[in-house]
Amino acid sequence: MTPASKESPTPEGAAVGRRTVLGAAAAAAAAPALLGRTPAAAAPARNGPRALPGGGDLGPNVLVFDPSTPGIQAKLDEVFAKQEKAQFDAGRYALLFKPGTYHGLNAQLGFYTSIAGLGLSPDDTTINGDVTVDAGWFDGNATQNFWRSAENLALVPVNGTNRWAVAQAAPFRRMHVRGGLNLAPAGDGWASGGYLADCRIDGTVEPRSQQQWYSRDSAVGGWSNGVWNMVFSGVEGAPAQTFPNPPYTVLDTTPLSREKPFLHLDGDAYRVFLPELRTNARGVTWGNGTPRGTSLPLSQFYVAKPGDSAATLNQALAQGLHLLLTPGIYHLGEPIDVTAANTVVLGLGYATLIPDNGVTALKTADVDGIRLAGLLIDAGPTNSRTLLEIGPDGASADHAGNPTTVQDVFVRIGGAGPGKATTSIVVNSRHTLVDHTWVWRADHGAGVGWETNRADYGIRVNGDDVLATGLFVEHFNKYDVQWYGQRGRTVFLQNEKAYDAPNQAAVQNGDVKGYAAYKVADSVTSHEAWGLGSYCFYNVDPSIVQHHGFAAPNVPGVTFHDLLVVSLGGKGQFERVINDTGAPTSGSSTVPSTVVAYP
């Protein structure tokens, strides 16, 4: 996400990179009918394709351990050796631990690696040891530690504190750390994450050099500091509201939340648990034993393997099956078309969808309760108009009681190779809950350039009553977030404008200098957002001026809380924070300009 961070380490004697600049700136089972779906067909349809089976093997890249498994540490080390530096490679892994107690482990996580317990509660699966993310592979700079996750485990860290030094797309969910949590790499090099939800940290969370962080519906024993933008909603033990100094934005509860679906064991049988919707949530879902929700047997899922076509996945959906995508890369010749209410599409180990020939990767109907989780969508070389569409154009049905949820769904344009998309995510369905996404037009890797990986817009919200908790959206050629729906709400945004704009003219928006990171349409009369940050690092033309980070109609029903813009090392400048309000950035000091309330 952020620094020279994202640039490869430079040879000795090269120009000072962003890392140096930033260093100076630091301081119970449910029947299918209950979920609105029909059971899978037991026999082939007459004159049609043979019915696809539900359930089955999870494939070679899902590694399942129990406490008696020999050589666990060696296997963890083997996967890490493959994935530590594999930022744009094809390896994908899920490391799953059956309930029980494990001793003396250090699970170091590299790219595209997920680790998770298989109990209903994190405390069902205890590791006396660590789940570690550090940055030795990148000279102590953690700002490229993307695409890895930890879920549903209890940890007893060897030295009392677990290290989780991450950047974007690296969620820490349903974790119980019986000690402290350090969010910075060894040596306090830069980090630019991050997201934590449904976690209990018994000790203190230490962001240290971590630039921004969003914590939701959790409990912490303490919180030690903040750099630019630390946002909390529904977190027991969170610090008091003090933005901008320290930069803490604190909501007592989260307006609406529903935790991510997760795989678990019932005896020897795999099931997928679907947590229930919570209103004005605070604290963890699992603190009093079994979480509230429903559980589906794996037999109701088509267990997809890399190489399965979109036609096969759509056949499974048409039969009434949910989708469980095992780790790997899936090329799609047509969109995955999710049409039935309450369908679950769950990816393991950063299962990756690549749309071929300019198609959209995944579309949903305007129905209740679809759950999309744990997916990486990689744009293909032929421009896609959209990559993910939640509801069709004009969707208007009320889903207040059972919204569609989009969780840990990440989008990438370029980096792994050529990719283009006009708009990455379009949300048309009302009441959609977007809970943690990183939508990234790549600034490094293969297939990167102002026109090479052209992507004008990150997220466009057309539907009313949409809530976003944890938006990370970066580097788009024009607007990063556009909001047209009424009564929208966002809790936390981390944004960087595109580094590689060649000149001022390339980002000129009519009479306005630059496109806002977050634009609320002039037609909107009700909108609210908390804890938004936008950064510029125009390293191709440092003279570029961005008029503001945020743009919105100046009407009583549109309100913002705790905004900041910052010029990273003077590579470009902001004239204002929101509309014509807020002090300009200046010089090379990397000091944020803030607005506490707007209007």
Residue 2, classed as helix, strand or coil, is coil
Map tokens 């580097």 to a residue. Answer: 475
Residue 224: helix, strand or coil by DSSP?
A: coil
Choice among 151, 206, 496, 575 that is catalytic: 496
Residue 365 near residue 339 (C-beta atoms within 8 A)? yes
Task: Report phi then psi at 473, rounded to 5.
Answer: -140, 125
Instruction: Give the burial class of 178: count Cβ atoms within 10 A of its Cβ; 0-12 exposed, 13-18 middle, 19 or more buried.
Output: middle
Distance (Å, whole) CA 216 – CA 418: 35
What one-character-per-residue DSSP string does 524-590 give?
Answer: ---EEEEEEEEEE---S-TT-EES-SEE---STTEEEEEEEEEESTTSSEES-SBTTBSPPP-TTS-
> Of 45, 75, 49, which Cα lies nearest the Cα of 63?
75
Backbone angles phi, psi at 459, to 5 degrees: -125, 135
> 312-340: b or e for each residue (b if 16 or more CB lie within 10 Å)?
bbbbbbbbbbbbbbbbbbbbbebbbebeb
Catalytic residue status for 334:
no
146 closest CA partner among 350, 4, 345: 350
The full length of the chain comes to 599
- Outline where DSSP puts E strands in 454-515: 457-461, 467-474, 481-483, 488-496, 508-509, 512-513
Q: Are 95 and 148 in contact (CB under 8 A)?
A: no
Question: What's the chain's Rg over C-alpha atoms?
Answer: 22
Q: Which residues are catalytic?
A: 496
